């Protein structure tokens, strides 16, 4: 399986990565090589094995429904680039 | 050409937990922005989600209530997309292994028939924060208080074929989640939201038409309007030789139109994969047994029981079981006064219309269940007539009497409304009226029986409505003959 330059572009867009046009060919090859590596696993026979959702063979621990957190807005906002009226400010988004 | 509509709904119901799905932050609505968002809700590097038991329990309750299997090893997955009100860059949701599998919900159609709507699945996921686009020159404000609030996304099969059916289904789900106590039912505050997938096809065609998804409609009225306007739009496009585009559309209630939000070209590719931060959720037999034990009586069962136990019409049983609060109110009055039919009439009649007029919920009714019990007891033992009872009810509504069962007695006493059943007193009234209306007495005796009604009216008027009507009739007949 290989990854085309167009697929590389689309993956970069979805991940919001800015990549240079001249590097796309190289990325395409590198990523295809990784696929090659992963594909080796297809040789393993897993007919009798139930797919796992997690590599650890364990179940999720649950917590009680209790509010344990206090307001830490000042502290948590201290490293935000821009805030106003208790809100984080980001470049305008409209949907 | 004749057209057929196909509708499926996705309902997002916020679960009424105290804390968030994966953090110990409060979920309380309406607090100062960003005061309920901790490092997990803000997705600071290195934080890990810890799952809330209560959210799992509530989702399981819903599953049992719609007759669905509960996913014994259900799994959280990451749904990847970028938006500023989603700091993680992905939403923790469920994909191929949801907690609630295929179930169903029965709705009643306008012609009285029952239609079964499939509920494909319901899964747990995090809510996002809120973006505020106004008020900040060229910037968007982000409030993450809602970030991480538990949601149950309830996905229906495309089983509905009109806007009315879609609303009926939405109302049923709305009623159910409130019965279960897992959602506060507040559409205005966004705790119960709905997306509708709508498509049309020529009648008889098997394949589905291309669908549009109508986003975030926040009232029953708007759901109906939005779907109807979208159906018209799609039919117009096809009849003009065009093709419907698969896209997300927003309903604008002011203009009563839907408009495109994102086109298919930019459609998101969510790249779901199992969330490596969370292990599968084990639903044990013990857990399910405990959930079954706390499951309240469901609306459909209550409806049947009200018809059988209290001998109510299906209309009355339907109105009285529309909310758990109304059902509880009715039942407490009916049991205390032993007059279920009379209670049903008062709750669906006088009480409902007063609540509507003052835009009040039954839980905020100035006339509580004990007060109505006291009033109905006095109608039943004939202390007052139904007509006088309305006057007493009005006084109770206005705050007279007290907040307990003796309230009606106090109003009857202080206003002197007790029914006159003393035949001597009624006869005295009749004698006086006959003496003052000799002409009418003559008319009646010469065969003009219609005048009888005149006498009844006069006696009731003279007694200020307090004379027992049956007695008045009987005594009048005797005296006039």
B32 in contact with chain A, both atoms CB, cutoff 8 A: yes
Residue contact A87–B54, C-beta within 8 A = no
Contact B282 A59 (CB under 8 A): yes
Q: B82: which 2 tokens? A: 């970028």
A10 chain-B contacts, CB cut-off 8 A: 269
Q: B34 — contact with chain A (CB < 8 Å)? A: yes
Alpha carbon distance B277, B40 (integer Å) = 12
Report pLDDT for B265.
47
Collect all residues of chain B within an 8 Å Cβ-Cβ radius of residue A50: none
Residues 176-205 of B with CB under 8 A from A: none
Identify the band that residue A52 occupies on the pLDDT scale cut at 50, 70 and 90: confident
**Interacting residues of B54 by C-beta distance below 8 A, sequence separation 6+:** A64, A65, B15, B17, B18
Q: Is B371 on the interface with A (CB under 8 A)?
A: no
Query: Which of A52, A56, A60 to mutate: most B Cβ within 10 Å?
Result: A60
* Contact state of A64 with B282 under an 8 Å Cβ cutoff: no
CA atoms of B217 and B192, how far apart (whole Å)? 10
Instruction: Tell me how close the Cα of A65 comes to any Cα of chain B, in angstroms.
Output: 6
CB neighbour class for B439 (10 Å; exposed up to 12, middle 13-18, buried from 19): exposed
Contacts 24+ apart (CB under 8 A), B107-111: B107/B165, B107/B168, B107/B169, B107/B172, B108/B168, B108/B318, B109/B164, B109/B165, B109/B168, B110/B164
Spell out which residues of chain B touch residue A14, defining contact as CB-CB under 8 Å: 80, 269, 271
Q: What is the mean pLDDT of residues A35-44?
A: 89
Identity of the residue in A14, A54, A67 whose CB atom sits nearest the CB atom of B26:
A67
B375 within 8 A of B393, measured Cβ to Cβ: yes
> Does the beta-carbon distance from B38 to A62 stay under 8 Å?
no
Tell me which residue has tokens 């408009």: B259
Tokens standing for residue B301 = 């069962």
If one counts every other C-beta atom within 10 angstroms of the C-beta of residue B252, the result is 13
B 73-132 residues with CB < 8 A to A? 73, 75, 80, 82-84, 97, 131-132
CB contact under 8 A, A60 and B281: yes
This model of the complex carries an ipTM of 0.91
Mutate to test the interface with B, among A17, A54, A87 (most CBs of B within 10 A): A87
Inter-chain touch B55–A65, beta carbons under 8 Å:
yes
- The answer to whether B419 and B466 are in contact (CB under 8 A) is yes
- Do the Cβ atoms of A71 and B42 come within 8 Å? no
Is the pLDDT at A51 greater than 60? The verdict is yes
Sign of CA dihedral B46, B47, B50, B56: negative
Of the partner residues A10, A53, A91, the one whose CB lies closest to the CB of residue B75: A53
Closest Cα in chain B to A63: B52
- Which of B 257-316 lie inside 8 A of A, CB atoms? 261-262, 269, 271, 274, 276, 278-282
Which residue, among A12, A63, A58, A86, has the nearest Cα to B269 in the 3D structure? A12
**Mean pLDDT calculated for residue range A68-94:** 93
pLDDT average per 10 residues of sequence, chain B (481 residues)? 95 98 97 96 96 98 97 94 92 97 94 94 97 86 97 98 96 95 94 96 93 90 95 96 92 90 65 95 95 93 95 93 93 96 96 94 94 95 88 94 91 84 85 90 87 89 84 88 80
Q: Residue A1: pLDDT above 80?
A: no
B280–A53 CB contact, under 8 Å: yes
Q: What is the pLDDT of residue B267?
A: 57
* Angular region, B435: left φ>0, alpha ψ -120 to 50, beta rest: alpha
Strands (E) located in B29-160:
51-52, 73-74, 76-80, 90-94, 103-108, 114-126, 130-132, 139-143, 150-156
The pLDDT, as a whole number, for residue B264 is 43
Report pLDDT for A95: 52
| CB-based contact B136 A76, cutoff 8 Å | no
Q: Which of B32, B83, B84 sits opposite A86 (nearest CB)?
A: B32
User: What domains does chain B contain, in order, with CATH numbers?
Assistant: 3-287 (no CATH), 297-415 (no CATH), 423-480 (1.10.10.410)
From the list B255, B257, B215, B209, the residue with the least C-alpha distance to B235 is B209
- Partner-chain residue, chosen from B18, B82, B131, that has the shortest CB–CB distance to A66: B18
Inspect the interface and report whether the beta carbons of A86 and B33 lie closer than 8 Å.
Answer: yes
Q: What is d(CA B151, CA B142) in angstroms, rounded to the nearest whole number?
A: 20
């Amino acid at each position: 399986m290989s990854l085309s330059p167009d697929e590389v572009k689309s993956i970069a867009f979805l991940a919001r990565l800015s990549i240079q046009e001249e590097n796309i060919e190289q990325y395409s090859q590198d990523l295809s090589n990784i696929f090659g590596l992963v594909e080796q696993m297809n040789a393993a026979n897993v007919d009798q094995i139930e797919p796992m959702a997690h590599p650890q063979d364990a179940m999720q621990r649950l917590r009680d429904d209790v509010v344990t957190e206090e307001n830490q807005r000042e502290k948590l906002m201290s490293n935000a680039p821009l805030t106003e009226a208790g809100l984080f400010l980001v470049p305008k988004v409209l949907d | 050409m004749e057209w057929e509509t196909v509708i499926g709904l996705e309902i997002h119901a916020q679960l009424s937990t105290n804390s968030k799905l994966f953090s110990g932050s409060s979920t309380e609505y309406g607090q100062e922005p960003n005061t309920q968002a901790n490092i997990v809700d803000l997705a600071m590097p290195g934080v890990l989600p810890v799952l809330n038991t209560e959210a799992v329990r509530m989702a399981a309750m819903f599953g049992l209530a719609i007759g669905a299997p509960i996913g014994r090893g259900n799994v959280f997955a990451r749904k990847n997309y970028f938006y500023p009100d989603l700091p993680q860059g992905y939403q923790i949701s469920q994909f191929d292994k949801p907690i609630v599998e295929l179930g169903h919900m029965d709705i009643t159609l306008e012609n009285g028939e029952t239609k079964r709507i499939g509920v494909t699945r319901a899964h747990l996921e995090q809510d996002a924060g809120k973006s505020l686009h106004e008020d900040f020159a060229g910037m968007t404000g982000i409030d993450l208080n809602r970030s991480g609030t538990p949601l149950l996304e309830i996905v229906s099969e495309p089983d509905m074929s009109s806007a009315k059916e879609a609303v009926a289904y939405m109302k049923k789900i709305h009623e159910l989640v409130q019965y279960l106590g897992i959602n506060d039912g507040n559409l205005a505050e966004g705790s119960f939201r709905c997306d509708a997938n709508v498509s049309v096809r020529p009648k008889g065609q098997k394949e589905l038409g291309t669908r549009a998804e109508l986003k975030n409609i926040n009232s029953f009225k708007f759901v109906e309007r939005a779907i109807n306007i979208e159906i018209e739009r799609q039919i117009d496009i096809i009849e003009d030789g065009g093709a419907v585009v698969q896209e997300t559309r927003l309903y604008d209630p002011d203009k009563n139109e839907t408009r495109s939000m994102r086109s298919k070209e930019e459609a998101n590719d969510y790249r779901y994969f199992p969330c490596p931060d969370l292990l599968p959720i084990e639903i044990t037999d013990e857990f399910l047994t405990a959930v079954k034990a706390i499951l309240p009586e469901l609306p459909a069962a209550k409806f049947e029981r009200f018809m059988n136990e209290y001998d109510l019409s299906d209309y009355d049983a339907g109105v009285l079981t529309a909310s758990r609060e109304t059902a509880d109110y009715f039942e407490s009055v009916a049991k205390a006064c032993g007059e279920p039919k009379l209670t049903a009439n008062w709750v669906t009649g006088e009480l409902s219309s007063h609540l509507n007029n003052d835009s009040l919920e039954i839980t905020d009714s100035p006339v509580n269940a004990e007060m109505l019990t006291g009033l109905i007891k006095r109608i039943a033992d004939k202390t007052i007539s139904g007509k006088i009872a309305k006057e007493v009810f009005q006084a109770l509504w206005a705050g007279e009497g007290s907040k307990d069962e003796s309230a009606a007695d106090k109003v009857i006493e202080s206003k002197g409304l007790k029914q006159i059943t003393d035949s001597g007193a009624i006869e005295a009234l009749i004698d006086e009226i006959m003496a003052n209306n000799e002409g009418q007495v003559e008319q009646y005796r010469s065969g003009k029986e219609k005048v009888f009604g005149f006498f009844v009216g006069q006696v009731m008027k003279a007694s200020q409505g307090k004379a027992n009507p049956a007695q008045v009739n009987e005594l009048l007949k005797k005296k006039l003959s």
